[in-house]
Structure 1
Amino acid sequence: MKIIKSFINYCKGCYEELAHKVTWPTYKELTQSAVVVLSASLIIAVVVWLMDVAFKAVMSAVYPN
């Protein structure tokens, strides 16, 4: 019974923290953060793609078919 009671207390504490202590972002902040993440992801994807193209060109020059 002690384990169940401690688990219930843990769940109550989690709820209290999420409901009353956490500062949730506004819609504007969330949108701005999403744009930053998407932009960074796109830039990283392009950089990786360029590296892949360059590596393929080098390998084709070193090991021609």
Structure 2
Amino acid sequence: MAGFVNYVKESFGELKNNVSWPTWSEAQSLTILVAVFSIIFSLAIWGVDTVFSKVIKAYFSWIN
């Protein structure tokens, strides 16, 4: 158990002293950027899925 406690203490020390955190404005702009690209990517996947769905439906209705 002492090893785990030591690991947690060292982890917090690492995060506090050695990690360079972004400023609040950088974090906000990066969050918006990630949200926009996530929406664009999800719309692209939805579009491809819709097209493939229609192609598969057309194929199966054609072979019946």
TM-score between both structures, scaled by the size of structure 1: 0.75
In the TM superposition, 1:44-59 aligns within 5 A as 44-59=41-56
Structure 2: unaligned runs, 5 residues or longer: none
Identity of aligned residues (%): 32
State the Cα deviation string for residues 9-37 of structure 1 (Å, max 9, x = none): 32332222111221111111111111111
> d(CA) in 1 for partners of 2:3 and 2:60?
65
Question: How many equivalent pairs are there?
Answer: 62
Residue of structure 1 in register with 2:12 after alignment: 15
2:48 maps to amino acid = M
Instruction: Tell me the C-alpha RMSD between the 2 structures.
Output: 1.8
